[in-house]
C-alpha cells in the first residue's frame, strides 16, 4: 500500500461509526461533512510560510479539490515535552458531501502541505452535519 493512501483509509475507518449514527436531515438540508484543517505556518530552519506561498497553496491544492472553503487566520499553541510553542496558523473550514473523493482530497491536501512546507502534521477534524448551499 502506498504511504499516501494510508491516511485516507484511516479517515474513512474512523468516521464510519459517526456517519452511521447521523439522524436524517430535514429538507432543504442534506448530509454533509464539516472539515477543519489546521495549517501551522512556522517552518523549521527558515522563515514562516509567506502570504504569497499560502495563496499559491490555496490556489493549487485547496480550491480545485473542494467546492468551497473558508480560510481563517489563527494562532496555534502546543507543548512538546516541557517546551510550549506558538505560531501563526490558517484554519480552513470546508463543508462538502461525504464520500471517497472528499476523503481522498483531505489526505492529498494535507500530504501536499506537509511535503511542501516540511511539516510533521496538519490538524484534521471532521464532523457529520446537515447543510444546504
Question: What's the pLDDT tens digit per position in 58-108?
Answer: 999 999 999 899 999 999 998 889 989 899 999 999 999 999 999 999 999
Pair 66, 122: CB distance under 8 Å: no
Q: Helix, strand or coil for residue 34?
A: strand
Hey, how many other C-beta atoms are within 10 angstroms of the C-beta on 1?
Answer: 6
pTM recorded for the entire structure? 0.81
- Residue 85 pairs in a beta bridge with 78
Distance of CA 50 to the CA centre of its chain: 19
Tell me the C-alpha distance between 84 and 126, whole Å.
26
Under the banding of pLDDT at 50, 70 and 90, the label for residue 1 is: very low
Amino acid at each position: 500500500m502506498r504511504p499516501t493512501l494510508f491516511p485516507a483509509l484511516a479517515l474513512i475507518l474512523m468516521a464510519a461509526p459517526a456517519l452511521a449514527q447521523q439522524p436524517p436531515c430535514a429538507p432543504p438540508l442534506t448530509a454533509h461533512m464539516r472539515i477543519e484543517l489546521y495549517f501551522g505556518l512556522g517552518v523549521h530552519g527558515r522563515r514562516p510560510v509567506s502570504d504569497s506561498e499560502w495563496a499559491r497553496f490555496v490556489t493549487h491544492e485547496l480550491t480545485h479539490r473542494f467546492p468551497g472553503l473558508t480560510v481563517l487566520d489563527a494562532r496555534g499553541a502546543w507543548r512538546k515535552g516541557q517546551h510550549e510553542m506558538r505560531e501563526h496558523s490558517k484554519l480552513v473550514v470546508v463543508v462538502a458531501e461525504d464520500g471517497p473523493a472528499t476523503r481522498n482530497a483531505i489526505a492529498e491536501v494535507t500530504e501536499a502541505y506537509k511535503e511542501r512546507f516540511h511539516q510533521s502534521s496538519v490538524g484534521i477534524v471532521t464532523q457529520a452535519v446537515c447543510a444546504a448551499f
